[in-house]
Amino acid sequence: MNTVRDRMWMWGHEAGSHNTGWDISVSSRITPVEAAFYMDVPNMIMVRYHDKPEMPFDQYAIPFRRLKQVFWSVVGGAGRSSEEEREHVLALAARNPNIVGVFMDDFFRRAQGEGALGVLSVEELQSLRDQFEVGGRRLELGVTLYTHQLGMPLAAHLDLCDWVSLWTWEAPELKDLEANFARCESLTPHSRKLLGLYMYDYGLHLPMPLEAMQMQCETALDWLRGGRIEGMIILASCICDLDLETVEWTRNWIAEVGDEELA
């Protein structure tokens, strides 16, 4: 029997990744695995940020072996990717059985007219999927989708994604979460859904209001119980040691609901 905690994922970045650029006044030192253990979240989506960590990832990935399931990014923050990185991550997954898939962050362009819709074309994405048989098992493909991208013609790319995570970039837009998630369900009928939960309002460079944090967590729990989502993602590891009100509330909430069994 799965528990709520089994369906929780920590969004991991290199320690200190958000120390600059987001108007966060305190510097963080916590590593992704430390954050996962602090928050008591057993699964990780590890996303490269500003080309950190540096390749090769093998030694860096050793502590991740203590986690239940790991996705490792092949498209990192700001849509950065390379053929060398993608090949290396597939090889890393072959050597680490708890790496269950690869993830694409910031994959879609924020607005139409900025060139290609995705970092990879549909053909390149299919070619990547053709390499997913590693270590006697098949990897899965996850992607980031923002609510402001729901009107874009993304169906051909999304049809190749096994997991779709939906994110609301600015906290005030959470008022439309139900309607936006319904649009996501219509757009991606065959994928497994994850709901992204920001613990900081990166869109507005402000602390996440506590009531907004509570709302999105409670909504995620309701949808998880009802089978609308497969899980939820807590973002991000690199703010978990800043004593933020939303982080500590979320940690306590996980302790309260994490052992609940799911049908």
Secondary structure of the chain as H, E, C letters: CCECHHHEEEEECCCCCCCCCCCCCCCCCCCHHHHHHHHCCCEEEECCECCECCCCCCCCCHHHHHCCEEEEEEECHHHCCCHHHHHHHHHHHHHCCCEEEEEECCCECCCCCCCCCECCCHHHHHHHHCCCEECCEECEEEEEEEHHHCCCCCHHHHCCCCEEEEECCCHHHHHHHHHHHHHHHHHCCCCEEEEEEECEECCCCEECCHHHHHHHHHHHHHHHHHCCCCEEEEECHHHCCCCCHHHHHHHHHHHHHCCCECC
Percent of the chain scoring above 90 in pLDDT = 96
Instruction: Please give the pLDDT value at position 263.
Output: 86
CB 216 within 8 A of CB 197: yes
**d(C-alpha 6, C-alpha 41), whole Å:** 8
Q: How much is the mean pLDDT over the chain?
A: 97
pLDDT-derived band at 1, boundaries 50, 70, 90: confident
* b (16+ CB within 10 A) / e for 145-157: bbbbbbebebeeb
Say what the pTM is. Answer: 0.97
**d(C-alpha 220, C-alpha 223), whole Å:** 5
Task: Give all domains of the chain, ordered by start, each with its CATH number.
Answer: 5-257 (3.20.20.80)
Q: Lowest-pLDDT range, 15-29, 111-125, 160-174, 222-236?
A: 111-125
Query: Which of 175, 91, 177 minimizes the C-alpha distance to 134?
Result: 91
| Residue range 227-244: mean pLDDT, rounded | 98
In angstroms, how far is the first alpha carbon of the chain from the final one? 7
pLDDT beyond 70 at 111: no
Instruction: Please give the pLDDT value at position 79.
Output: 97
pLDDT-derived band at 114, boundaries 50, 70, 90: low
Instruction: Please give the pLDDT value at position 55.
Output: 98
Query: Which of 162, 212, 168 minimizes the C-alpha distance to 190?
Result: 162
| Residue range 32-58: mean pLDDT, rounded | 98
| Residue range 129-155: mean pLDDT, rounded | 97
| Residue range 51-66: mean pLDDT, rounded | 98
Instruction: Please give the pLDDT value at position 183.
Output: 98
pLDDT-derived band at 116, boundaries 50, 70, 90: confident
Identity of the residue numbered 209 = P
Let me know the angle formed at the C-alpha of 87 by 85 and 93, rounded to the nearest 5 degrees: 100
Instruction: Please give the pLDDT value at position 248.
Output: 98
pLDDT beyond 70 at 85: yes
Instruction: Please give the pLDDT value at position 66.
Output: 98
pLDDT beyond 60 at 153: yes
Angstrom distances, CA of residue 22 to CA of 17, 18, 67, 201? 10, 7, 28, 9
Instruction: Please give the pLDDT value at position 110.
Output: 60
Residue 67 CA from chain centroid, whole number: 15
pLDDT-derived band at 40, boundaries 50, 70, 90: very high
- Tokens in use for 223? 């949808």
CB 231 within 8 A of CB 8: yes
CB 126 within 8 A of CB 163: no
